[in-house]
Chain A
Amino acid sequence: MKPVSPFLELDDTPRAEVTFDGAPLRLPEGANLAAALLAAGIDVFRNTPVSGAPRGPFCMMGACFDCLVEIDGVVRQACMIEVSPGLQIHRPHAQEADDVQA
């Protein structure tokens, strides 16, 4: 069953298998990654490193740096990336944050 999301998506696009924090997702290939994750029901992309406050996409145009995700060890803006097969998407700095708390 599709998760509840306030965002609509077109259904006629080929799907790409990706993971978000280890969970498998089928996102429209070539779609904007930030938009595709929102449409898939993910509205918290990360927690800030200082206060832990939840963050998700805000500007959708590469300016606000709130939609950051980690791919291949590099923190990147999800709104500046297209969905492609095999993406392994992680919440940025989750590991380091755990280290700090431990």
Chain B
Amino acid sequence: MDTDYAIIGGGVVGLSVAWGLLRRGRTVTVLDGDDGSFRASRGNFGLVWVQSKGMKQPRYAQWSQRSAAMWADFANELGDNTGTAVPLEQKGGYDLHFSEETLQATVAQYEALKAKLDGDYPFEVLGHNALRKEEPHIGPKVVGAILHHQDGHANPLNLLMALAADVRRMGGRVLTGKTVTDVSKPDAFRIDCADGTTLDADRVVLSAGLGAMQLGPKLGFKAPIRPQRGQVLITEKLPKLINRPSLIARQVDEGGIQIGATNEEVGFDDRVTQPGLSGLAAEAIAAYPALAKAQLVRSWGALRVLSPDGLPIYQESTEMPGAFLVTCHSGITLAAVHARVLPDWLEGTDAAPDLEVFSEARFAVS
């Protein structure tokens, strides 16, 4: 046997799981794609985010909260192990609103969720003046915001670098430029790659992002996921302008302001568009008028990995026991639980979390 676990997909999700398994003494081989692969791990917005998650499924809200609570300790450990610091700030985040109606409607939804979570959902509503005290650069069109105290943001590229380095440091094999073409289970798992590489493994984790759309069915998964494009902009590095992140803009640890993000159903097209970028810029300037003078340095598009209800999928294959599908939209937020909790589920220990609500059973056959 080549390895205890073969991890198909070496993004943040796959590397987080690999990291946790290595910590438990398992041997792990990560098969990662090439420069042509879609890379949500390199194009994302970097939020470690709780609010608005799981409005219809409190278990998802709790799963996100659990990860957010573990994130700082996880980031520190990665930083200590690798010398690559993973900047993280968790002093709350905003949902900004341009109309009183949408603000009140969202607050009502949050109140309902808070009740289902036994009150563990610490948010407050800031009117324009209260928000302006927190964010002196906020614009007059912003009527208010929901400040959720469990939200924050990280440097997702440093997370990816540190994870990749620490996985290798612990003895994990990371093979790059591999396109997995088939997985079979004559006895143990046999994985075939396009370049002729084969790998035998006791168990397989499919964490290939959108790659699971093709590979999932070969392993007995429904894998009903789809791409959704998000375009983002980043400015020159600026003096402190934004204190807390929102879905509209965040000022990263290096000073640049990342402006996001579109939600577009355009298939496997990760390009930017002029209308997409203009719309983002206009919204960001409405929120923070000082951004009108900021110079843009870069823009890019990346593809989200979305299930029909937006929740993660954690599923062991019934056709091929020992094969697991791990896929989600929020790989940054969930990195800490994927590294520190999910391995208990993969290994079937007593500490395994109950992830039944995230199984594929929720997707009825139509």
Question: Contact string, B234-253, partner A, CB cutoff 8 A, digits 1/0?
Answer: 00111110000000000001
Among B245-304, those with CB < 8 Å from A are 253-255, 293-295, 297
Q: Taking the nearest CB of chain B, how far is it from the CB of A76, in angstroms?
A: 7
A96:B236 contact, CB within 8 angstroms? no
B255: chain A residues within 8 A (beta carbon)? 48-50
Q: Is A89 interfacial (CB 8 A cutoff)?
A: no
Q: Is A87 interfacial (CB 8 A cutoff)?
A: no
B238:A49 contact, CB within 8 angstroms? yes
A93:B238 contact, CB within 8 angstroms? yes
Q: How far is the CA of A48 from the CA of B239 in the complex (A)?
A: 9
B295:A76 contact, CB within 8 angstroms? yes
Which has the most chain B C-beta neighbours within 10 Å: A73, A93, A97? A93
Q: Taking the nearest CB of chain A, how far is it from the CB of B135, in angstroms?
A: 15
Q: Which of B239, B253, B297 contacts A97 (CB 8 A)?
A: B239
Q: How far is the CA of A75 from the CA of B294 in the complex (A)?
A: 8
Question: Contact string, A71-102, partner B, CB cutoff 8 A, digits 1/0?
Answer: 00111100000000000000011001101100
> Please, which residue of chain B has its CB at the minimum distance from the CB of A97?
B239
Measured as residues with beta carbon below 8 angstroms from the partner, the interface class of chain A is 10 to 19
Question: Contact string, A6-50, partner B, CB cutoff 8 A, digits 1/0?
Answer: 000000000000000000000000000000000000000000111
Question: Contact string, B318-340, partner A, CB cutoff 8 A, digits 1/0?
Answer: 00000000000000000000000
B237:A74 contact, CB within 8 angstroms? no
Q: How far is the CA of A75 from the CA of B297 in the complex (A)?
A: 11
A73:B239 contact, CB within 8 angstroms? no
Q: Taking the nearest CB of chain A, how far is it from the CB of B253, in angstroms?
A: 8
B240: chain A residues within 8 A (beta carbon)? 49, 100
B293:A50 contact, CB within 8 angstroms? no
Measured as residues with beta carbon below 8 angstroms from the partner, the interface class of chain B is 10 to 19
Given A48-B255, A50-B254, A50-B255, are A65 and B236 neighbors across the interface (CB < 8 Å)?
yes
Q: Taking the nearest CB of chain B, how far is it from the CB of A70, in angstroms?
A: 10
> Please, which residue of chain B has its CB at the minimum distance from the CB of A96?
B239
Q: How far is the CA of A74 from the CA of B238 in the complex (A)?
A: 13
B239:A93 contact, CB within 8 angstroms? yes
B236:A75 contact, CB within 8 angstroms? yes
B254: chain A residues within 8 A (beta carbon)? 50
A99: chain B residues within 8 A (beta carbon)? 239
A74: chain B residues within 8 A (beta carbon)? 293, 295
Which has the most chain A C-beta neighbours within 10 Å: B237, B293, B294? B237
A92: chain B residues within 8 A (beta carbon)? 236
B294: chain A residues within 8 A (beta carbon)? 75
> Please, which residue of chain B has its CB at the minimum distance from the CB of A77?
B295
Q: Taking the nearest CB of chain B, how far is it from the CB of A85, in angstroms?
A: 24
A75: chain B residues within 8 A (beta carbon)? 236, 293-295
> Please, which residue of chain B has its CB at the minimum distance from the CB of A93?
B239
A68:B239 contact, CB within 8 angstroms? no
> Please, which residue of chain A has its CB at the minimum distance from the CB of B237?
A49
Q: How far is the CA of A49 from the CA of B173 in the complex (A)?
A: 39
A49:B239 contact, CB within 8 angstroms? yes
List 10 A-B pairs, minimum CB-CB distance, nearest first.
A50-B255, A96-B239, A49-B239, A49-B255, A75-B295, A65-B297, A49-B237, A100-B239, A93-B239, A97-B239
Besides A65-B297, A68-B295, A76-B295, 8 other CB < 8 A contacts? A50-B253, A65-B236, A65-B295, A74-B295, A75-B236, A75-B293, A92-B236, A93-B239
Pull 23 A–B residue pairs with CB atoms less than 8 Å apart, ordered by A. Answer: A48-B237, A48-B255, A49-B238, A49-B239, A49-B240, A49-B255, A50-B237, A50-B254, A65-B236, A68-B236, A68-B295, A73-B293, A74-B293, A74-B295, A75-B236, A75-B294, A75-B295, A76-B295, A93-B239, A96-B239, A97-B239, A99-B239, A100-B239
